[in-house]
Structure 1
């Protein structure tokens, strides 16, 4: 289904920059981008549309940077974040297969030429994955994913070499390359583990990956260096991690699509927002990935407001 309106303000999710004061909710209307800073203590209402719309596609510039173009048809979606037409036009898809096919646009090749890192990331419910990141996104990649704990285990001269290592670790160490967002959010409110337990899970997985890579011959020819480097959590994520570690987090129980939600922000972990309704009210974790692809309007609030109720009451 196509919708002619190009003025629809769509949410592109939460983005991060190492030197910005807070995570940013990215909103786009046509060619115009808007940024809402999710500072701790900010009170706001989110007016959320019910329908999902295509977020467009990515092209790579000659210098290796990205350009996000809006969907030409403003296509409505049932699932995902792109229509079929934009998925075909998207140049970032070559990134995941370049080390196997050698096929990529010039701009993406430029991006892949920079040094890359291999990391092991763990999430609140214990799921642990292997992943890659470039030098330019070394910190932000893990912030974007909402890792609770992560360690870098290797560095390579380029993105193709690091993706070969990623596949090897998946095959021989048994670490997945993906963790679903819904399971990340569910884990924050499930109280299955604490920080010390998760740190041990992550350290063990990082150790197994490093031992496996260290036993391989010829890595030096690809500029591979083993590392044991702990990722530094962003300050705005620590309240979320602290509340999870204290078993004080509860799930946000009302449906987000087609609703207006009131919240006071307490912290942000990846695409999850820690919020309450004022002093002494329940700490809840909201899955902000539900906002992505939907129309979102942000309205400032003053003072406290009615607390989001649990389904138990």
Structure 2
């Protein structure tokens, strides 16, 4: 493939993983198959604008490239593309904000409220549409999760999210850096401990929701299924941070496990964690490249 602009790591409902890219203005996917090798070279480490989205209803949206091929100014968009993006209305719509017709139709579908817990045991509250119910949690790198409410639409589920967040002091975001640090921590909790922490928080959230005076939802008790590729990553210990900077040079990463955007790569007898989310907005060339690791030697002391 020629040079491509990375949009991010994506999961499908069948638990396959891809790197979403734009090549010559056309959306494409680079498979990240289990036990395969992802080889690439960074051609431009600057963060580029990823364009904008138009929403056409519950199951249809179109992602368009930045017309000016600009560098990103806020997040992963330039100013004009942020203004064009119809998803930007989503987070304030439930507070009386406006939204285009296509986004209103998208938000009219049923939504789920979930509690996700990550490798360091920290939990967050979040929402997912019916269409992305399982995928949303897979892409975020959840280790354990439960669905706690099923809402009639996206407006109601965001009211519930705000209520849980403020009432129980649960965050709506967990920083990527914290997720990465947890995956290489020598004393991180076991999978069982993370699952227990998630169950405890989910129980508190369900009790809270029982007293929320909002119509249009029901409390549910439904587990989320951790993908097998993530189980493979979590089963390996110890795990170390990948020693090369991902935003420069060439890399060849064996795919021995995947959790969200994090891949487990076994190289020269070491098991490394690399976060492919770092490539988002950068221009790469995929191919038969390999990692030239620095000298790796266990400490004698």
Q: In 2, distance between residues paired with 1:289 and 1:164? A: 29
Long gaps (5+) in structure 2: none
Task: Pick the aligned partner of 1:263 from 253, 259, 262.
Answer: 253
Q: Mark the CA change 1:312 to 1:153 in structure 2 (over 3 Å): closer, same or farther.
A: same
Q: In 2, distance between residues paired with 1:72 and 1:205? A: 44
| Deviations 1:154-194, CA, capped at 9 Å, x for gaps | 00111100100000000001110011112111111113211
Q: In 1, distance between residues paired with 2:96 and 2:192? A: 41
Partner of 1:3: none
How many residue pairs match? The answer is 296
Alignment of 1:146-185 (within 5 A): 146-185=141-180
Alpha-carbon distance, 1:64 to partner: 4.8
Q: Following superposition, which runs of at least 4 residues in structure 1 exceed 4 angstroms of deviation?
A: 304-313
Partner of 1:294: 282
Q: In 2, distance between residues paired with 1:115 and 1:78? A: 33
Partner of 1:254: 244
Alignment of 1:1-313 (within 5 A): 9-19=4-14, 22-48=16-42, 49-62=44-57, 64-77=59-72, 80-190=75-185, 191-217=187-213, 219=214, 221-222=215-216, 224-243=217-236, 247-277=237-267, 281-300=269-288, 307=293
- Does the 8 A contact of 1:30 with 1:70 survive in 2? no
Alpha-carbon distance, 1:143 to partner: 0.7
Long gaps (5+) in structure 1: 1-6
Alpha-carbon distance, 1:102 to partner: 3.9
Q: CA RMSD in A?
A: 2.1
Instruction: Give me the TM-score of the superposition, normalised by structure 1.
Output: 0.89
Instruction: Give me the TM-score of the superposition, normalised by structure 2.
Output: 0.92
